[in-house]
C-alpha cells in the first residue's frame, strides 16, 4: 500500500471509529415546527430522554398544546416561543433568548416545513419562493444562528429534516422536492466542514418517508388545484409511519451520531430504487402518479 493511500485509510478510520453514544439526558434541545406532527413527537420523545426543551412554531395554539403534552408527561424544563423561521433577524434574536434562558444549546432540530402542490407551469414564483423560504432558508437560519452556540457547548449536534422527496422527486411537488434536496446538500456540506475544522458538532440529515402528519393536508395549491386530492392519496397510500415512531428513529440516529437517517420502510425502498434506477425511476413515478390521479 502506498504512503498516500495508507494515510487516507488511517484518516478514514479515525473519522469512522466507534464513539460513545450522544446522550440526551440533561441536554438543551431546540426544535422548530414543534406545534404538530414530527416536531411535536420529537419534543415528547426528547423529554422522555431527559432533555430540556426550547420549542417554537408559528402556530401558537398548536405549540401550546405540545407544551401541555410535554408538561403532563414529564417534569423537564420547557421554554416556548412563536417563531417564523423565514425571518433571519427573528431567529437570531430567538437563539439569543434560548442561550440566556438555558446558558447553553446542545442540539438543534430544524424541523419546520410546509408543502405546495402544483406543476412548474401552474406554480407562481411566490408559491415556490414561500416553500424555499420555510423549508430551505428556515434551515439555513436555524443552522447559522445556533451554530456558534453549538460549537461553544463543546458537545453540539444539529439535525436538519430533509425528506425522501430529496432522493426521489415526484410531479406537482417541485418546490418541496427542490427545497428538501437543498437541505440535504447544505447539511452534508456542513458535516464535512465541522469534521475538517475539528469542531465538536455532530451533523445529521434526516429523510422521512411517508409519515402520518398534517403537512400534506395543510399544503397550499396552485390556482385551480385542490391539494386535498394529493393529501388524501398520500395519507391513504403512503403515510404508513406514525410521527411518534419517526421521532424515536430520528433521536436514536442522533444518539448514534448518524450522518444520515432514513425514516420508515418506504424510505429504504425508495433510496434503493433510485440507486438502482437513477433516471428510470422517473417514468415509473409518472405512471404511479397517473394511476392515483395526482397528475
Q: Whole-angstrom Cα distance, residue 140 to residue 85? A: 9
Question: Between vectors from CA 257 to CA 259 and to CA 152, what angle results, nearest 5°?
Answer: 100
Distance (Å, whole) CA 200 – CA 196: 11
Q: Has 268 been annotated as catalytic?
A: no
Closest by Cα among 95, 30, 84 to 57? 84
Residue 198: count of CB within 10 angstroms of its CB: 7
Q: Yes or no: say if 35 and 25 are a contact pair by the CB < 8 Å rule.
A: no
Question: Which one of 94, 125, 136, 176 is the catalytic residue?
Answer: 176
- Give the strand pairing for 52-57 and 211-212: unpaired
Report phi then psi at 87, rounded to 5.
-100, 105
Retrieve residue 22's grid coordinates. 450522544
C-alpha cell at 97: 433568548
Strand partners, 204: 159
Count of CB atoms situated within 10 Å of the CB of 6: 10
Give the single-character DSSP code of 196.
Answer: H
Cβ neighbours around 108 below 10 Å, total: 27
- Active site positions, annotated: 176
Amino acid at each position: 500500500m502506498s504512503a498516500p493511500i495508507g494515510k487516507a485509510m488511517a484518516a478514514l478510520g479515525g473519522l469512522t471509529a466507534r464513539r460513545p453514544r450522544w446522550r440526551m439526558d440533561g441536554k438543551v434541545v431546540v426544535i422548530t415546527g414543534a406545534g404538530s406532527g414530527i416536531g411535536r413527537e420529537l419534543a415528547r420523545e426528547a423529554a422522555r430522554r431527559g432533555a430540556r426543551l426550547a420549542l417554537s412554531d408559528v402556530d401558537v395554539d398548536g405549540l401550546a398544546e405540545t407544551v401541555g403534552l410535554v408538561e403532563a408527561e414529564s417534569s423537564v424544563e420547557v421554554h416556548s416561543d412563536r417563531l417564523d423561521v423565514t425571518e433571519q433577524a427573528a431567529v437570531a434574536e430567538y437563539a439569543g433568548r434560548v442561550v440566556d434562558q438555558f446558558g447553553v444549546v446542545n442540539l438543534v432540530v430544524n424541523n419546520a416545513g410546509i408543502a405546495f402542490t402544483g406543476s412548474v407551469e401552474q406554480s407562481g414564483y411566490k408559491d415556490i419562493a414561500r416553500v424555499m423560504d420555510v423549508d430551505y432558508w428556515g434551515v439555513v437560519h436555524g443552522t447559522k444562528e445556533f451554530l456558534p452556540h453549538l460549537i461553544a457547548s463543546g458537545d453540539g449536534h444539529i439535525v436538519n429534516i430533509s425528506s425522501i422527496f430529496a432522493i426521489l422527486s415526484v410531479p406537482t411537488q417541485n418546490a418541496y422536492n427542490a427545497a428538501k434536496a437543498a437541505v440535504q446538500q447544505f447539511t452534508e456540506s456542513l458535516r464535512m466542514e465541522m469534521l475538517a475544522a475539528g469542531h465538536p458538532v455532530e451533523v445529521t440529515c434526516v429523510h422521512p418517508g411517508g409519515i402520518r402528519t398534517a403537512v400534506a393536508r395543510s399544503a397550499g395549491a396552485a390556482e385551480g388545484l385542490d391539494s386535498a386530492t394529493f393529501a388524501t392519496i398520500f395519507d391513504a397510500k403512503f403515510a404508513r409511519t406514525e410521527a411518534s415512531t419517526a421521532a424515536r428513529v430520528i433521536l436514536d440516529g442522533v444518539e448514534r451520531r448518524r450522518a444520515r437517517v432514513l425514516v420508515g420502510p418506504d424510505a429504504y425502498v425508495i433510496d434503493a430504487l433510485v440507486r438502482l434506477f437513477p433516471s428510470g425511476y422517473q417514468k415509473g413515478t409518472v405512471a404511479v402518479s397517473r394511476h392515483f390521479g395526482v397528475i
